[in-house]
Amino acid sequence: MSALHLIVDGAIAEIRLDNPSKLNALTPDMLAALESHCAGLERNGAVRAVILTAEGERAFCAGADINAWSGLPPAEFARHWVRDGHRIFDRLARLSKPTVAAISGHAFGGGLELASACDIRVMAPGATLSLPEASVGIVPGWSGTQRLARLLPEPVIKEMALFGRRISAERAMALGYVAEIADDPRAAARTIAEKALNASPRATEVAKYMIHAGVGEDTAALVEALGSGMIAASADKAEGVSAFRAKRKPEFPGT
């Protein structure tokens, strides 16, 4: 059984990392479960917002489980471990529903990259952020030098990735990386998620698409999705489909 669970409570879903004895380090099974849950949530119209949480107070997530990748041949490490993780984190980042990460403990490496795939973040006062990969001879591989570069200034990322410095909750908030510092990040994240229930689900979905297109998050697909959504509601589309089915020449009204 995976140590990553999905709990649906009404219109809010919670993705929960549940391996606190290992600091919620990510394993292949947990990554596979995350990808599966994201696919299911995308098609669940009853869910309006998603919270990402973790059990335990020591670590939100200490990154990727070193036992899962340290023995992999270089080609397999690059081709599967890194690219699969990237794809799965992209799946979370590109959910059509608003997402909030509740960082209840330290978020290191892949854990920081995981939190960065959510729309906004809430952080416990004593939690810290870091990119410690260089200390074990590797580099960030799940968007720590890419997506995170859109969320934090370049010198700050260099502090973490090159010099091993940790970023406090207070500094992360001052930099705009977290929306709130709370003693109970899970409760605070739920309060924020509940705000989405008062808004139009279609409006929040399209707004998220537009913002992502503006910052380069899956821009090509989002442009086509937004354009396709517009044309799908047109009279021209209805006439084109009707004419195809009737095997006649379409007469497009241009509306």
Domain boundaries, the chain: 4-197, 201-246
pLDDT number for residue 88: 94
pLDDT number for residue 1: 67
Report the run of H or E that residue 76 belongs to, with start and end.
Answer: helix 74-76
Q: How would you list the strands of the sheet with 180-181, edge to edge?
A: 4-9, 12-17, 49-54, 99-103, 120-123, 180-181
DSSP per residue over 119-154, as a string? SEEEE-TT-EEE--GGGGT----SSTTTTHHHHS-H
Please report, for residues 55, 121, 123, 239, the alpha-carbon distance to residue 173 in angstroms, rounded to integers and kept in the order given. Answer: 22, 9, 9, 52
Is the domain 4-197 a CATH 3.90.226.10 member?
A: yes
Q: What is the pLDDT of residues 130-189, one digit of tens each?
A: 999 999 888 898 999 999 999 999 999 999 999 999 999 999 999 999 999 999 999 999
pLDDT number for residue 29: 93
Distance of CA 113 to the CA centre of its chain: 9
Q: Which two three-digit tokens encode residue 175? A: 């930099």
pLDDT tier at 76 (50, 70, 90 boundaries)? confident
Please report, for residues 9, 22, 120, 139, 190, the alpha-carbon distance to residue 123 in angstroms, rounded to integers and kept in the order given. Answer: 22, 20, 10, 24, 13
pTM of the predicted protein model: 0.92
d(CA 152, CA 174): 11
Residue 229 backbone phi and psi in degrees, to 5: -65, -40
Q: What is the pLDDT of residues 192-214, one digit of tens each?
A: 999 999 999 999 999 999 999 99
d(CA 98, CA 208): 8
pLDDT tier at 219 (50, 70, 90 boundaries)? confident
Q: From the candidates 14, 35, 55, 133, give the one annotated as an active-site residue.
A: 133
d(CA 79, CA 169): 34
Q: Which two three-digit tokens encode residue 116? A: 């960065």
Q: What is the pLDDT of residues 243-252, one digit of tens each?
A: 999 999 999 9
Residue 170 appears among annotated catalytic residues: no
Q: Is the pLDDT of residue 239 over 80?
A: yes
Residue 180 appears among annotated catalytic residues: no
Q: What is the mean pLDDT of residues 12-30?
A: 95
What percent of the chain is modeled with pLDDT above 90? Answer: 79
Q: From the candidates 14, 35, 113, 217, give the one annotated as an active-site residue.
A: 113
Three-state SS for 105? coil
